[in-house]
Amino acid sequence: MERRTFLIGTGAAALAAGLGRTAFAQDKPEKTKVTLGVGGKPLLYYLPLTVAERRGFFKEEGLDVEINDFGGGAKSLQALIGGSVDVVTGAYEHTIRMQAKSQDVRAVTELGRFPAIVIAVRKEKAGQIKSAADFKGLKIGVTAPGSSTALTTQYAMVKAGLKPTDAAIIGVGSGASAVAAVQKGEIDVIAHLDPVIAKLEADGDIAILIDTRTEAGTRALFGGSNPAATLYTKKDFIDANPATTQRLVNAFMKALKWLQGAKPEEVAETVPPEYYLGDKPLYIKAVQNSLESYSRTGIVPPDGMASVMDMLKTLDPELKDAKVDLAATFDDRFVRKAAG
C-alpha cells in the first residue's frame, strides 16, 4: 500500500510538471503496427484513446495503431482472447474476470478513475420508476451485455434488493442506436455514457437516477473509488513487446496530461465531427460533465481494485469464492517509466 501510494503521488507530480517528448526516449519497439480493440470509440469513456490518435501521440511514439471498434467492451475482450487484436481499451473489471479464469490479462494504464456511467429512466416512466429497486421486469438498454454498463446496472439492482437477473439486459450499441432505442420506447431504462446521455437529457427524453461521472456519484453507488477504462492486454504480449507496450503507455499518458489542461471546446475540435451526434454545443457540455472522470496518474489504486473485485463477487456466483491476486491485474512499470 505504501509503495502504491508513493507511486500515485509521484505519477501525479510528473504529470503536473509536464511530460516532454524527450522524457519518452525508449528502446526501439518490437512492433510498430499494433491492433487495438475498443467497445464504442465515440463514447467519452474512451476519450483518451481518440485524443492519443487525433493529436498524433501514437505517431510521436513511432506506432501505427489500427483501431477496431466493437459494439461493447465484452466484444473487445473476446477479440483480445481470440487473438484478433493486440491490446484493448476497456473496463478494468475484465482483467479480474480473466485472472479468475487463469488467463493472464493485465491493465497497463488507467484511463478513467470513475465509471462515468449514467442510469436513467425514460421520462414518461419517471413517476413509477424512481430507483433501481423498481427495475424488476423492465427492459434495460446497455452498450452490450457483459459490458461495464450492464454490470453497473446489475450492481445497482443487487444493492436495491433485486437479483441481477430480475430485468432484461439489452444491447443497444454505443451511439445513435442507443438514442433511438429510448426515443422509440424499445427500452424502459438506459445505462450509458456521454455523449449519448447528454443528448437524451438535452432532448428531455430521460430522468437520471444514478450518475457516476463524478466522485460523489461514484461513492454513492460503490462506496469508494471504482476505476473504469484502462489499456489492457495479455501478459504474453507485454513480455514479448515491452518497448511497444511502453510506447503505447507513453501515448496514453500524453493524452491524459493533455486532457487535464484542455478546454471542452478544444476537445470538441480534436474529435471527429460525427462524435457530436448532430449537436456540437451539446457535445461540449458532455465533455465538461466528464472531465472529472479521467485518470490523473494513470495508476489503478488498490482501493479501486478492491471495489471492483467486491462488485464482481456480488454479481457473479463464479467469482464469489474466487482467489484473485489483484496485484497481477495491473502492471505499473510502464506508467512509472512514462511519468518519470
User: Cα-flanking dihedrals φ and ψ of residue 234, to 5°?
Assistant: -80, 145
Share of the chain above pLDDT 90, in %: 81
pLDDT band at 7 (very low <50, low <70, confident <90, very high): very low
Shared domain check, 75 and 165? no
Q: Which residue has the higher pLDDT, 166 or 175?
A: 166
- State yes or no: pLDDT of 302 exceeds 70: yes
Read off the pLDDT of residues 100-143 as tens digits, 9 standing for 90 and up.
999 999 999 999 999 999 999 999 999 999 999 999 999 999 99
* Residue 260 CB coordination number (10 Å): 14
Of 211, 241, 275, the residue at which a domain comes to its end is: 211
Residue 28's domain is classified under what CATH number?
3.40.190.10
Share of the chain above pLDDT 70, in %: 92
The answer to whether residue 199 is domain-embedded is yes
The answer to whether residue 216 is domain-embedded is no
3-state secondary structure 27-56: CCCCCCEEEEEECCCCCHHHHHHHHHHHCC
Shared domain check, 122 and 108? no
Read off the pLDDT of residues 10-51 as tens digits, 9 standing for 90 and up.
444 445 444 444 344 458 999 999 999 999 999 999 999 999
Mean pLDDT of all residues in 202-224: 93
Shared domain check, 95 and 30? yes
Of 211, 233, 260, the residue at which a domain comes to its end is: 211
Shared domain check, 235 and 104? yes
pLDDT band at 5 (very low <50, low <70, confident <90, very high): very low
pTM comes to: 0.84
Q: What is the pLDDT of residue 26?
A: 58
Shared domain check, 127 and 110? no
Mean pLDDT of all residues in 280-293: 93
* Residue 203 CB coordination number (10 Å): 14
**Tally of domains within the chain:** 2
Read off the pLDDT of residues 46-94 as tens digits, 9 standing for 90 and up.
999 999 999 999 999 999 999 999 978 889 999 999 999 999 999 999 9
Shared domain check, 125 and 104? no
- State yes or no: pLDDT of 8 exceeds 90: no
Rounded CA-CA distance 193/210 in Å is: 12
Q: Which secondary-structure segment (H or E) carries 232? A: strand 229-234
pLDDT band at 181 (very low <50, low <70, confident <90, very high): very high
Shared domain check, 99 and 194? no
Domain encompassing residue 233: 2-114+225-339
Shared domain check, 16 and 77? yes
Q: What is the pLDDT of residue 129?
A: 97
- State yes or no: pLDDT of 325 exceeds 80: yes
- Residues for the chain: how many in total? 340
Strand order from edge to edge, sheet including 189-192: 168-171, 139-142, 189-192, 118-122, 206-211
Computed over every residue of the chain, the mean pLDDT equals 91
The answer to whether residue 220 is domain-embedded is no
Rounded CA-CA distance 160/72 in Å is: 26
